[in-house]
Amino acid sequence: DEPNAAATAAAAAAAAGEEAPELCWRFRAAEAYDLGDECLGLYGNYCNAKLLYSYGFTLREEAAAQAAVDFWVKCRNNDPAIGAKREILARCPLAAKLYTYGFEGTLKLGQISPQLLWVARIVSLAPEDMGHAGKAFTGMVNPVNERKAYEALRASLVAKLAQLDSTAARAERSVDELTVAVDEMMLEQHPVQAIGSLGAVLVAPEPTAKELEFKTTLRQYNAAIVLEEETLVVRSCVQLLESWMEQMDEEGAENFVPVDVGGAPEAPGGTSEEKE
Tell me how many domains the chain contains.
1
Q: What is the pLDDT of residues 143-201, one digit of tens each?
A: 999 999 999 999 999 999 999 999 999 998 988 899 899 888 887 765 544 444 444 44
Predicted TM-score (pTM) of this structure: 0.76
Query: Looking at residues 92-96, what average pLDDT do you find?
Result: 84
135 vs 189: CA distance, rounded Å: 59
Q: Which amino acid appears at position 5 of this protein?
A: A
CB 117 within 8 A of CB 258: yes
12 within some domain: no
20 within domain boundaries: no
* 141 is a domain residue: yes
- Cβ-defined contacts of 10-16 (< 8 Å, 24+): 10/201, 10/203, 11/203, 11/204, 11/205, 11/206, 11/207, 14/203, 14/205, 15/205, 15/206
Task: Please indicate, yes or no, if residue 11 is contained in any of the structural domains.
Answer: no
Q: Is residue 5 part of a domain?
A: no
Residue 33 lies in a domain: no
10 part of a folded domain? no
Q: Note whether residue 159 is domain-resident.
A: yes
Give the domain extent around 186. 41-276
Q: Express each pLDDT in 97-142 by its tens digit.
A: 899 999 999 999 999 999 999 999 999 999 999 999 999 998 999 9
Quick check: 55 and 41 in contact, CB under 8 A? no
